[in-house]
Structure 1
Amino acid sequence: MAETPEQNETVAAPEQGQQQMQLRIDESDTPFYYASTARVSGTAEEIVVDISRGIQPSGQGQATMKIDARVIMSPWSAKRLAMALGQAVTRYEQAYGTIEIDPRKRQQGGGNNG
């Protein structure tokens, strides 16, 4: 199960200039998914993020990506999410060091595993 978010978490909220309010987050009925793979697609009206636990071999030269969750949002919400994720990654790297995304370099001990 996922850990409780830190107090310094970033919330991808509506545009600035809107009235400020206190936000209470209810996670009581929220399903949790571990995602090692994501596929992002979209149109002029929406951005689609498919979340998967991973890609599994399904035959010779074939693999299957089982979609565990799909999030559909407006381009504006997607941009706010991208900014919030960027801020979260920056805070993580400041606390724990650079995240190496190249698996070959991670195996050689360069950067954090993940």
Structure 2
Amino acid sequence: MASVRVCEVDDLAPNQAARFVVEGVPIAVVKDSAGEIFAIGDTCTHGDISLAEGFVEGDTLECWAHGSQFSLLTGKPLSLPAYEPVPVYRVELLDGGVHIDPSVTLTV
């Protein structure tokens, strides 16, 4: 599967997440305060909650419903109640667009 353009870089607000469904895969895309862009699985592993509705702080995304925090770098949960990681996807920036291939996950 090839990468898919999900949005423009300028469409993403700093320190906020946006939800995209790419080839049927829900993905939360985050631009941090330094302008770096991350993509992780959008579904909290503690409950069927969209992480894109959560809170961004540094390199973490916090689930709004139960407070579990996930690393944007590794997908690993940093606090309970979640204990399972979410997938992390490679982000490519091409011609001002954000591209993601949902079939390629990164591991740390």
Same-fold call, TM cutoff 0.5: no
Q: Which has the higher contact order (CA 8 A, sep 6+)?
A: 2
Work out which of the two has the higher radius of gyration on C-alpha atoms and give 1 or 2: 1
Normalised to the residue count of structure 2, the TM-score between the two structures is: 0.26
Normalised to the residue count of structure 1, the TM-score between the two structures is: 0.25
Higher helix share: 1
Higher strand share: 2
